[in-house]
Structures are given as C-alpha cells and as structure tokens.
Structure 1
C-alpha cells in the first residue's frame, strides 16, 4: 500500500498531525494499535478534560523546564490561545477555573473527540485500528493487523506513539526497539507526574482515600500548594505530581502543614498554656491542624518535640519517608524517549529523513494542569506542518 502521509498513533498528537496534513489536502492513513483512538485522552477526560492553562505565555513556557527552548516555537504556534480557539471551533464551549485551568463545559473528552474525528473524516483521513506498528522493512512501515501483515510505503510518516505509561491504553513504549534499530538515540524512560510509595503504619488505614488540603509540598527547589490523597499505596494527586520530578531525581520530600503561618508566629501560639486540652486538640486549635494533617504529623514527626519552637519547625518542615516513585506504568506521563538532538528543528528524525515525531515520544516533561495536553497538540501540529512542507504543500 502506498500513501502520501502515514500517521502512526491516534492520540492527541497523532490526531493533530493527521488534521494538519488532511487540511493541507494530503491523503492520510492514520494507524492505531488499539481498537479505538485516543484511549488515554478519554481516560484523562473522565475527571474533567484539562485542555490547557490560561496564564502569561512566559510562565506557561517555564513549566517545561530545561525543554522550554526546544518547545518554544511549537508552543508559540499552537499555545493556550490556539488550543482554546481550536476546541471552540469543534463546537466545545470552554470555561476557565480559578487556577487558570481550561476545561470544556461538558467536563468530558468524548464530545470533543467525536467532533474531532468527524472533522478528520471530512478531510478524507483514513483510520485503521488494531494496526500495531512493527518497525520498517525495505523502506515500508510494517503492521500486524487482524488481516495479517500489512506494509505501507509513505511519502512522509509522523510517529505519535506516546510514552511508556498506561500500557493498557496504548502507551507502552514498545516502539523504542524499532527506533534503536533505525539508529535513533533514546534517553531511558522515567516516570513523571506520579505518586510516591509509602509504607504506612497501621493507624493510617483509617485515612486512606482522604485528601490532604491546605499544605505545601517541597522537594528541592520545587514547591506545590496542590492537594494530595492518602491511599493504601502512598501519596497521590496534583500536589505530589507537581514536584514528583524532583522526588524522582533524588530530592527529599517534605510538607509544610501550616503554609500560611510563619514559624515564629506558630511557635508563639504553641507556647500558650495548654490547660486541660489534649495535645491533639491543642495542636488543632493553635496550629489549625485538621485530623488528616495531625495523622501525617504523628506518622512522620514522632517523637514530637516539646519545645514550641522545635515543634513549629517540625510542622513547617515535616520530612515524608517514602519508598520512591510509584511504578512507571501508573504514572500520568513519562520523561525520556527521543531527545531533541536526534531531530531537526522540524521534528524530523536525522537518522530517517521523512519521518517526524510528536507527543510523548519526545524527551520532555511538564506538570499536569493543561501543559501536557497542550504540548502534545503543539508538537503534533508542528510535525504535521513540517511533514506537509516535505510533501510540497508548504507550512499551513
């Protein structure tokens, strides 16, 4: 089979690449290993699809850390404002939450995906599911399909096969072997936006499923005011995910249980006479520690200092003993993969001209909160434009 453009992977990056190529008038074959497209996208949307983040562009870009310079041109071309306009053009009204996160009013991914696939159908994009890419042979992309082995020769190819987490939804990193065989250097996969494992004492079982609110998590220079949840597996949730890269890289994890009160003020409160109050009630009143915060203090802070100043410092900087990150397949995203040094500025593989890469296959990471999805869409659009230019249409 011969096609003008082949896109492998029907997640957000692949769908966006297919859209751009189809809009440019090219015949596109979109191949997906799973029975249906965008499974991870749909799963993420079950708790409210956070499309992007409404904030100053430089602040938005800074969330990508050391990868920001590489991603800048792509995010300038398809950043938060462009993502908003794109979703609204698909008939999805949006709203911005108090923290700047942008969601569809339906809080679901499925209506947007249906509209998106309808648009691709209108551009003539051909979709094939249960087509699992096996690599290349004699210049053709090889797929294992229900109808047997299929070989596709394409003028350009966009790879958008995802990272190495949530394997059951399609992101299993199995593509790495084929890329290595093609001479593409890869950075090892690492979990990103993941929880931490904690071996709780028995008394914490009563707290499983409870949120930890009104605290500040710290790991090295990274600090987060987000919430977390105590689970039987450890600590999970946005507050932990935001600093998880620093934890993964070896920074000690701690929590400030009273982030809105300085240590000196807290020490003065804790120095007041306790009277007949229990120690727990006294801490609740003077340090404003709810039962969940008190449970964390007892779990990680014993023996508690009797000196008010030392106790205040313990509350303000409570070390969290943990057993490292949760397994990579439980992570929301991954770092590692294809480094930008293996690519042209147009996301074309140096080792394989005519093949472009987008999404989480690239070695970048960012916190949750709209950054991940926006960058997947942006790199997909960028790869699609460059692939269209390679076919002679020029950037669209």
Structure 2
C-alpha cells in the first residue's frame, strides 16, 4: 500500500462484504477485510451444505416482489447486479451454474466451497488483505475503528468503512447482531432483529410428536391471511418448519407478535377439490383401520393421516365418525395453532436491521459520513430460493460503488 492510496475497511467476510471488497479493489482502493471468525464465508459455506442456491431465474419484476415492502429500496442495487450478472460472475470464477426444475439457480458443483476458494484466490490476487479474529467493537475518540483481537484491543484508521456484519441468525457462524447497540448509539434507526425463514411452535400431543417427528408433509398448500403457498413442511418435535412455512414466516411471525398465536390451514390434497375427495371417501372400510382407509382412499402419507387424527382428537372428535363431506373439508383445511416462532439463533435468516431511511443512494449512513452498510444488516427479508444471497451480493456491490463515488468527491 502506498502512502497516498485510499484505504477502505470492510467489516464482515460474508458475501456482501467480499463483494464490496472486490468492487473496491477493482476501483483502485487498498482493502482490508476484518472478521471476528478464523476464516471467511462461514455462513455462506453453511448455506451451501444442501446445495448452494445462489439466486432464482424468474422474471425480474416477480423476483423483486419477493422482497415485499423493501423491494423499492433494493431495486436499484439488484437492477445493477441482477441474477444474470451473478451467474456470469460465477462463470468467471470457473463455477458455471444451472437452473433447477423449481427455477432456482445453483453452481454445477452444487456446493459453496469451490466457489469461495476461487473467489478468495481472486481477491488475494487483487491485493485484498484479510484480518481474522478481529471483532469490531466501535470507534475511539479519534474516529478510528476499534477491534478486539487475541492480542488485545486494536485500532485502525480508514478513509471509508463498509459494514457487512449480517443479521443475527446462526450466531455461532459469526453474525450475532452484536453490532446493533453500537450503531444505534450513533443515533442510527434500527428495526429490532427478528427470526425470518424460521419454524414455528405447535403444542403437539406426545403421541403425534413421538411418531412423526422429522417426517415431511409433501405436496401441501398452506393458507394464511389471504396468502397461499404450495410446497412441503416437516414435523418437528416442537412444531413445524420447511420451505412452505418459511415462505409465510413474515406473516405468521407478525400475527403471533400481535395476537399471541396464529392459525395456519393446511390443504393435504390441494390438487383435489371437495367433490373429488368426497367421492373417494365413502368406500367401505371393511376390516381395515381408519388410518389405512384414509391412506388408501385419499392417498395421504402416514404423517398427513396422523395430522388429521391429531386435529380431530384435539377437538374431542373421533375421525372415523366424520361424514365424508366433513372429512373432505378437514383434509384440505387442517387448522393448526402456532404459538411462537423459533428463536432467531435457529432461523435461516433475520428480519430487521438498519432502516433504509438512514442510507443515501450509495448505501452510506447519512449520520456517519464515510460509513456504508450492506447485506443482512439492512432492514429487508426475503424467502429462501436464492433471494437472500442475491440481495446480499447486490447490496455489497452497491456499497462498494457507493464508497468509490463518495471518495471521488
């Protein structure tokens, strides 16, 4: 680094921070990435364990709508670095992508580690430096960044700073939300961090919990507050989770916060209408159990049959005593009461963070000139399906460009 070269500190070595570092280095800045963990991209690697879902292939207007009320705030960043650009970026790193049957986009390697290794090599070649085990703790009286390190407190000056410290999900991987108090102490408005893409609590009976914990409910439709989502869910010991649940997590979470509970309706055979189900159900049972009868006639999985029995018995009814019309109605409108959201530490992502009103068009904090923010630190949320990573990459790139523009005056 020359004495006249601009130095930018990027705090957080996840996708948003690394993308900001790449843009900054390409713009001629000397960049150091600081992170509290011993290595980069830990949450990124965890996200890729089941296949790294980078983004989604749906049309951009539909894509942007997934960000709900935050869509107008994110649009410029995603327009500038859209899903196609992310795919080209991966290709340039030697990791081509493909579109799955659901429209989701994955690297052909189907995991995060080869992509991260290639990315870190490119950042190293661009001169980006890394300082791990450096936990940011605030600023000193001279405005320098303060870090806690294994060798004691450490302070550095920077011409600009990009914060990419994440939300508060999966805190063991580094993003624990500890930054909120420090930033709020500077007068920056921050919406409380809350679990997103999370499971929910249900007071299952011991019989149902013991028998069906871990079993999926496939091909279902979930209905809540005017929203319908198709997909699948998984019965857990304490409740229910899974892709279809995550898609409704914002609505469910807010309803529980307001009323203490939420009633979710599950259609177990959404492709069959009432008349079709009624025709299937009057068949003579003979000597077969009610469970077998329901499994064969309505083609329900054991977990789905168990759910029907769980709900009817909780209401003091015998499932076998229901008329075909009543049973058909129940199968496609099983009501379960959700009493709480899973803790944020067990959520896939988090909602809340720095209000977009605190940022200018370049993602700089208006009250802290020279300080920029990106990624999950910002107040947005999105369902799984590639939307989380896409917005993290895009806002990281936008913050990097914002720094360069600000420094250029």
Alignment of 1:1-396 (within 5 A): 4-137=7-140, 138-204=142-208, 205-250=210-255, 251-302=262-313, 303=317, 304=319, 306-392=322-408
Pairwise CA distance, 1:354: 0.9
Identify the range of structure 1 (221-230 vs 362-371) with the bigger mean alpha-carbon deviation.
221-230
Q: Structure 2: how far apart are the matches of 1:378 and 1:106?
A: 22
Pairwise CA distance, 1:271: 3.5
Pairwise CA distance, 1:272: 4.2
TM-score, length of structure 1 as denominator length: 0.96
Say if 1:340 and 1:363, in contact at 8 Å, map to a contact too. Answer: yes
Say if 1:197 and 1:324, in contact at 8 Å, map to a contact too. Answer: yes
Say if 1:9 and 1:160, in contact at 8 Å, map to a contact too. Answer: yes
TM-score, length of structure 2 as denominator length: 0.93
Pairwise CA distance, 1:322: 2.9
Deviations 1:333-353 (A, max 9, x none): 111110111111211101101
Say if 2:263 and 2:338, in contact at 8 Å, map to a contact too. Answer: no
Deviations 1:115-153 (A, max 9, x none): 111111111111000000011122111111122222121
Q: How many residues align?
A: 393
Q: Structure 1: how far apart are the matches of 2:265 and 2:148?
A: 48
Deviations 1:25-72 (A, max 9, x none): 110011001111111111111111100111111111111111111111
- What stretches of structure 2 of length at least 5 have no aligned partner? 256-261
Pairwise CA distance, 1:389: 1.1
Cα RMSD, aligned residues only: 1.6
Pairwise CA distance, 1:202: 2.2
Q: Structure 2: how far apart are the matches of 1:221 and 1:368?
A: 20
2:399 is paired with a residue whose SS is: helix
Q: Structure 2: how far apart are the matches of 1:17 and 1:125?
A: 11
Q: Structure 1: how far apart are the matches of 2:43 and 2:264?
A: 29
Say if 2:196 and 2:348, in contact at 8 Å, map to a contact too. Answer: yes
Say if 2:217 and 2:301, in contact at 8 Å, map to a contact too. Answer: no
Q: Structure 2: how far apart are the matches of 1:74 and 1:168?
A: 29
